[in-house]
Amino acid sequence: MTLEKIKLINPFNHKPLLPNQEGWVDEDGNSFPLRDGAYRFVKGTNYAANFGFQWNKFEKTQIDRFQKNSVQSRERLFA
Give the model confidence (pLDDT) of 27-67 as tens digits.
Answer: 999 999 988 888 888 776 666 677 778 778 877 776 666 66
pLDDT at 3 over 80: no
Give the mean model confidence (pLDDT) for residues 1-9: 72
Q: What is the pLDDT of residue 72?
A: 73
Identify the sign of the CA torsion 5, 1, 40, 21.
negative
CA separation for the pair 79, 66 (Å, rounded): 21
CA separation for the pair 60, 76 (Å, rounded): 18
pTM for the model: 0.49
